[in-house]
Structure 1
């Protein structure tokens, strides 16, 4: 400052003078990373200096990085230290400094076990522009890939039913003797968890051609594209928003399908027929699950989606029913499901429960592994699968053998045809209470394992038996997809299908109704 300017500066009112000095001091200090929050930055527009303070903590803290676009050769580098004597950690600062390496998936992290006095995070900008996010968390990396995938319920010619990964598992509490009371035939869902227990899920959905190619063997996307939430939000041409505020073409709700836990379910409309789609789910803005693939059905597919039935909680697929009454609703749930179908099903469940309870459940044991409650749950799963058959489509064998029922995406997996059975119009073999479908339809047969599970879980006096694969099981069940087939046990026969180990995969292949 010049002497003249300095004299004028010192003549300022004392409160204003202190305010200016304090503001200058703040500008020279590091910004502070906020715990359990994500900070968005751009490498060519970093604060000066590009360092951030890490608050002291009695528990380990994890600093995570997520690239929001494809990295260039000379991108930013990231350094962290818990040595408070190092104010600007970098490649030449020495001491206890760690560099955060970002992997091929566009994410990287480091955990500081000892941070009782705080620490410092610094960015070396590089020469190329790159947008990225920084997260600080006391419960593992804020930016990460979830191990569970989004779940495909089913698709029609213009709709899809999708689920988030499960959260908040529910362990059913079995009754005890002498008050051994089982749930009613028409069970009700427990109250949904409150907002403090519910992650904020976002569904990212678009035609598969909109997304970079996924390399499943290395769990990365092609051309070094980051598999991060902030990057994937920018590539699809159909983003279905947050579960708390879905757009007009999607309905979001919470649903407890099974003991895996609660899920957010989306019913998405306005899709194109015979089109491959890719779905990702983002949890709390930073954690990514996916991809999961599916293919919409042909334009003549007429079976509507059925979902959210308390008496059949795992039913989330298309069923051979006429279109729902009215024009505003295109799917069936508990509010509009035909009572001519649900009432007999619930009565069957009630009658079975009454018979089951003639056994001294809870006092006597028919199995060291199974209880009457296990039996009832397994029977309900089987009953819903056979009373509410699932519609499918026969694969087009002229194009590819890897086009079962829902997808023609070639994952390189075993080529297996689904267990489908043509059903003429009006011929409902399993459930005569179903009204006539609007046309011929194809049934995706239930997995034989659902019958075997009920057989194993229930007492012998009920007389519950399943067909044997060697004879006629394949006429009414999908055989050999999950538990293998008789050929693996030395038999000389093989049911066409093959052993996949599961009823459906992430690529949209659905082999039997599991």
Structure 2
């Protein structure tokens, strides 16, 4: 018996009549369609005869099946595969395999995957089972053609009618490590590198969550056939963080205060998602800022006037120079001071170096320079601070569930800004706003990561939860209030459901 693997459990013994139909098909292969290797075949109906020839290969093949119509509440076709040339069938009603080398490809969310060896070829048969659905079949010797990617898309942020969305990382980024004696750090206004490999073909699918796409077939052919919303204002490849390159979309034409579901299709057949988010209310005024090489992680609304020349957002092309110049000056001066240490020759830590310190400082500097606008969730409008925070405030952010109050919701680190006191604004680099807004505080981890990564002579100190950290940072979300990494009430700054607790920079 040849070896095989499947993503789902094998189902009980197949009907003998179906097996008798399936196995002799090898003898009459010339009357049946042969599936092409490393390609996808689409079918509007189940063909006659209802079976396909799988080409013989000296390496394992992966057979994938994707349903393109219908729903999980309807009867679904069954897909049975054999990689044997032996017509003998064990008639054992207790068998879980349906006979030697005969397997059913189980479907999960409309997708089925099976991998096995086909040294002499094989047959894939389809039982209609009362179903009327279109479907695709893929055969590959290089992994599954149809796939559900575990890495999720990423939400930058939204305005009332826009969304900034990133694909899952498609290529990792191996940051070059400088070495002594030529220990050189990136300049402040750095140029981001390009991917080294081929960029996949990405498609963004946006749909109102009320359409309930997440409860239907999670396949590329099904999702791409559904009604979509929004229009692409811009699309580019972006190195947002150390996780690697992503595709970036600025979407427009969305409806205010509406819940959306987002998927990303890679090369048509691989599905990443879903993630969920909500657009801001119609009165939300802060414009999006993104695509800044010196601050690659900035991808959210900032309290600025409307972009010039009716531009849809601020980028490095139209962001005022009186904002960028101070930031680049701070970063340049910091790098000059940092490199007075003998970076690469002497080591202040066995884990990190001067390059890690500069990255952490850049992230922190960008997060405090570019104040992030947000607003309470429509489903939880009171889940934020309701007044101006006093400098001595403590415990503002870490208000998650407790033993006494297990049902308490986690509050976001939102602080209303008083436009009557422009001198109290978070970032003196930004001009005083002409409208009221709510500020999402930076995560305290932007500071503590810098403290851990940099040498002690720089004198970096972060506020603590016992004193006034919560007056200027979101505390207790990612790490615990005591600093235990990953021990916060949420463990992350944001999640796939659209919640954003603090600004990670």
* TM-score greater than 0.5 by the shorter chain: yes
Instruction: Tell me how far 1:144 sits from its aligned partner.
Output: 2.2
Alignment of 1:192-341 (within 5 A): 192-193=195-196, 197-212=198-213, 214=214, 221=215, 225-238=216-229, 248-327=231-310, 329-341=311-323
Alignment of 1:141-180 (within 5 A): 141-180=144-183
Alignment of 1:496-511 (within 5 A): 499-511=489-501
Instruction: Tell me how far 1:37 sits from its aligned partner.
Output: 2.1
Change (3 A) 1:498 1:458: closer
- Which secondary structure does the structure 2 equivalent of 1:126 belong to? coil
Once the two structures are overlaid, the 10-residue window that deviates more, 155-164 or 419-428, is 419-428
Q: Distance in 2 between matches of 1:458 and 1:403?
A: 32
Change (3 A) 1:64 1:403: farther
CA RMSD of aligned residues (A): 3.0
TM-score, with length taken from structure 1: 0.81
1:99-149 Cα offsets, whole Å, 9 max, x none, are 11213x12111111x223322222223333111111112233222221111
Instruction: Tell me how far 1:172 sits from its aligned partner.
Output: 0.4
- 1:37 is matched with 39
Q: Is the 8 A contact 1:87 1:120 kept in 2?
A: no
- Which secondary structure does the structure 2 equivalent of 1:322 belong to? coil
Once the two structures are overlaid, the 10-residue window that deviates more, 141-150 or 423-432, is 423-432
- 2:446 is matched with 450
Q: Is the 8 A contact 2:376 2:382 kept in 1?
A: no
Q: Is the 8 A contact 1:84 1:120 kept in 2?
A: no
> Do residues 106 (structure 1) and 88 (structure 2) align?
no
> Do residues 479 (structure 1) and 494 (structure 2) align?
no
Q: Distance in 1 between matches of 2:272 and 2:55?
A: 30
Q: Distance in 2 between matches of 1:371 and 1:71?
A: 53
Q: Is the 8 A contact 2:385 2:414 kept in 1?
A: no
Q: Distance in 2 between matches of 1:270 and 1:91?
A: 60
Change (3 A) 1:275 1:203: same
- Which secondary structure does the structure 2 equivalent of 1:377 belong to? helix
Q: Is the 8 A contact 1:481 1:498 kept in 2?
A: yes
Change (3 A) 1:414 1:500: farther
Change (3 A) 1:334 1:86: farther
Q: Distance in 2 between matches of 1:49 and 1:353?
A: 71
Instruction: Tell me how far 1:379 sits from its aligned partner.
Output: 0.8
Instruction: Tell me how far 1:320 sits from its aligned partner.
Output: 1.1
Change (3 A) 1:52 1:488: closer
Q: Distance in 2 between matches of 1:209 and 1:190?
A: 40
Change (3 A) 1:136 1:477: same
- 2:464 is matched with 468
Q: Distance in 1 between matches of 2:200 and 2:169?
A: 10
- 1:96 is matched with 101
- Which secondary structure does the structure 2 equivalent of 1:292 belong to? strand
Q: Is the 8 A contact 1:320 1:389 kept in 2?
A: yes
- 1:368 is matched with 350
Q: Is the 8 A contact 1:159 1:270 kept in 2?
A: yes
Q: Is the 8 A contact 2:56 2:119 kept in 1?
A: yes
Which runs of no fewer than 5 residues in structure 1 stay unpaired? 1-25, 215-220, 241-247, 405-411, 490-496
- Which secondary structure does the structure 2 equivalent of 1:169 belong to? coil
Instruction: Tell me how far 1:249 sits from its aligned partner.
Output: 3.9
Which runs of no fewer than 5 residues in structure 2 stay unpaired? 1-27, 387-405
